[in-house]
Each structure stands twice: as C-alpha cells, then as structure tokens.
Structure 1
Amino acid sequence: MLWFKNAIIYQLNNDSLFNKDTIEKAIKSHLFTPCGNLDTTKMGWVSPYNDNNQSDFIVDMQGHLLLRIKKETKILPAPVIKQTLLEKIDKQEQALSRKLTKNEKASLKDEVMIDLMPRA
C-alpha cells in the first residue's frame, strides 16, 4: 500500500492545457536524475508506481490525475565541514607562517565543500 509523506491536491478547471497528453509530454522533459558529485539537490518526475517503471508517469482514475515528484538532497553536517576546514587552515597557516585572511578562509571553505560533496 502506498502512503504519502507529503500530498498536495490541486483542483483545476477543464482546459485544453491540462489534458493528460500535454502534461505527460511536459513531465518527460523533466525526469528525475540522481545527484551528481557536486549537486546538493535534484528534483524530477518519477512513476507513481515505483522508481524503476519509466513508462507511466501519470495515473488517470476517473478524470483524476496522480503524479509523483522525487527530491534527493545531499547533506553535509556542519561539524564535519568545520573540522576539515580547521585542519586545512592550520596546514596553510603553518606553510605560510602567518594568519590567513578572511577571503582566504572563505576560499578554503569552498574547496572543502567541493572536496566533501562527492562523499556526502
């Protein structure tokens, strides 16, 4: 049995723009693809039945259309980022024999985020 975590119901007027074929064509142009190495979130349409079925994206029951969208989010915990950043800052400060500027620390934080994102 399918239970919803989050369901949003819309009531639309009968219009030629909201027919099943037009909606299915629009959905097929925005299908779900999993997050890549540097992506933090991805969202796209999937089959209401399961994720493996790529043929039916709309369930039509007595004029009611059921659609399903999927969202994938990568989470990087703040303590992990902070710990890795502090280690990098210490290494840089020892190598340069001086304190790093605010801009240098910000660019190091960006590097840490890029390094950690594929492992999230």
Structure 2
Amino acid sequence: MFKNARFFRLDTSFTLDAPALEERLGTRRFRPCGPIETATMGWAAPLGEDTTALAHAMGGCLLMCARKQERLLPSAAVAEAVDERIAELEAGEARDVGRAERRRLREQVINEMLPRAFTRSRRTQLYVDTEAGWLVVDAASEKQAEEVVSLLRETLETLPVKLPDPEKTPSTVMTDWLLQGSAPSDFVPGDACELRDADDKAGVVRCSGQDLASDEMLNHLRVGKRVTKLALEWDERLSFVLAEDLSLKRLRVGEALLEEMDDTDLDPVARLDAEFAILALQVRQLIARLDEVFGLLPAR
C-alpha cells in the first residue's frame, strides 16, 4: 500500500477512535475543483472508491487518505495568451500596457482558461499508530507530507506532532555501516546509495546496481563523502531506501509476508485491509528498531 513513509512523532496520546475520527474527517470530505478553483483538498476513502468510510481501524492504527485535485494550467499557455491580449491592445489603441494592467489581464486570462483546464488528482495515504505514538505518511517529498499533515491538523483543530530528532546522525551511522562493514545483522545494505560531499552540497554521487563494498565505492567514503541515502533490507521483512532525514522510499513488504494472501481468494477491499495490517505491524517494529539504532528522542 505505501511506497514511502515519513514519520511524525505524536507529542500527546491520540484519543480519537474510528467513529470520532470519521466524524471529524467528514467535515473536510474531498470535493472536486469548481470551475474557477485551482485546487481542492479533502478526505477520501482509504480503501478505495467502492467504500465510503474515511477512517479505517486495524490493530491500533487508523488509516486515512487525503486527496488533492488540481487544475492543470501551464504557465507557458497563460503567458502566451496574455502576450496576445497585450499585443492586441497596444496595436489597437496605440499605447503601452502598464504593469498593473498586465496583472489584470493575466488574472482575466486565468479565469477564462480555468473552467476548460484538465484536472489531476493525487491521493496520499497516512495512518496514526495510536499504540506506538507515530503518524506515518506515504509521501515522496517533505512538502507533500507537510501539506497532508497541515490538512489533518486543520481538520482536527489540533495535532501536536514533530519529526524525529535522532541522537545519532543518520548519515554518519550509514557511512560507518559501509566504510567499516558494521551494519547490524538485521540491516543488509542493498545495491544503491547516494553520497554527498560534507562541505560541498553540489557534489553528489548516485549509485544503483553497484557493489557498495567495492574499493571504488569505499574510496568515495575515504575521501570524505557521506551516505545520505542507502538501500536496505531489514530482517527479510521490509526493503527500502533510508534517507538521512529517516524517511523511507521504495518501501516494499517482504515476499514471504505476502505469500499467505496469494493462497487466499480475497476481494480487493479485503486484500487492501490485509496488506495494511501487515504493513502497519512491520513499520511499527521497524520504527522501534530505528529508535534503538539512532536514538530517537522520546515523545513525551
């Protein structure tokens, strides 16, 4: 279900149960863009369009889905239409169009083009682990995650969360794992990583399909580059790319954990429910393990 995971630690216990959360989310249910709206954002059913519930409870976790719809209005198309209007005015009235009038023309063009613009939707799944005290967001970027967290905060009127603040610097730890071959036995480095110069943020080496223990790779580390992203497999249960901000990308559940579902005839909704149950449990245990490795500061 989740391809990415960004963690936010809850400062206080999450006290809403599924019915209470459902009621709150219903106040900001998703609706499509209006004719002159550039974007709308609200809550959709996390288990798909065939269901109606906005909050789904499983194993102490509450699953939600934020949906954002945007009208696609290319800036180049707007600029071209504005230039045409300006050219017509200047030719027809033999005068220059000032800056304020240009802004008004641009607003007019946008209002005329918006109702005809195509729309694009993006769904972002997230869940609150009420037992472990974490909010987990399936977002590829920090901006996307913060946008969804802000929506949840506005919906609930309060949401005291913060990013993890590790005692040990993740990039330093991951660098030592490769340079010293000191990764814990349950964290097996894969074949991809990103290296950066400590003093030059522009100096980046991205590797994929490489032997990370080779002399070629280790020489980059010996001259001062640091690991900022590292592909890992954890305990044969999850594989992912761990970033220096402790976010996960390319998240996949181990095949062995999904084999039982392949032997059962589950409808799509039931399968999503089962996949979420497996994922949430494994991620809960992974976060606890990351806490041991990096020293995540306590929430309360």
Query: Aligned partners of 1:58, 1:47: CA distance in 2, in Å?
Result: 7
Are 1:70 and 2:86 counterparts? Answer: no
Are 1:90 and 2:113 counterparts? Answer: no
CA shift digits 1:1-47 (9 cap, x unpaired): xx33555555655454x222221110111100011111111111111
Corresponding letter in the other structure for 2:105: L
Query: Aligned partners of 1:99, 1:66: CA distance in 2, in Å?
Result: 57
Relative to total residues, which structure has the larger strand share, 1 or 2? 2
Corresponding letter in the other structure for 2:42: G
Identify the residue that residue 57 of structure 2 maps to in structure 1: 60
Among the aligned pairs, what percent are the same residue? 28
Mapped contact 2:18–2:56 kept (Cα < 8 A): no
Corresponding letter in the other structure for 1:30: R
Runs of at least 5 residues in structure 1 that lack an aligned partner in the other structure: none
Query: Aligned partners of 1:30, 1:21: CA distance in 2, in Å?
Result: 15
Alignment RMSD? 1.9
Corresponding letter in the other structure for 1:79: A
Write out aligned runs for 1:16-31 (5 A): 16=15, 18-31=16-29
Partner SS for 2:72: coil
Give the TM-score, by structure 1 length.
0.84
Shift in CA distance, 6/81, structure 1 to aligned 2, threshold 3 Å? farther
Deviates more, 1:104-113 or 1:45-54: 45-54
Identify the residue that residue 101 of structure 1 maps to in structure 2: 98
Work out the number of aligned pairs and report it.
Answer: 116
Give the TM-score, by structure 2 length.
0.36
Mapped contact 2:56–2:63 kept (Cα < 8 A): yes
Misfit runs of 4+, over 2 Å: 3-16, 51-54
Shift in CA distance, 29/20, structure 1 to aligned 2, threshold 3 Å? same
Shift in CA distance, 23/111, structure 1 to aligned 2, threshold 3 Å? same
Runs of at least 5 residues in structure 2 that lack an aligned partner in the other structure: 118-300
Identify the residue that residue 49 of structure 2 maps to in structure 1: 51
Partner SS for 2:62: strand
Partner SS for 1:32: coil
Deviation at 1:95, TM superposition (A): 2.3
CA shift digits 1:62-98 (9 cap, x unpaired): 2211111111111211210111011111111122111
Query: Aligned partners of 1:19, 1:11: CA distance in 2, in Å?
Result: 18
Partner SS for 1:117: helix
Are 1:33 and 2:31 counterparts? Answer: yes
Structure with the greater alpha carbon radius of gyration: 2
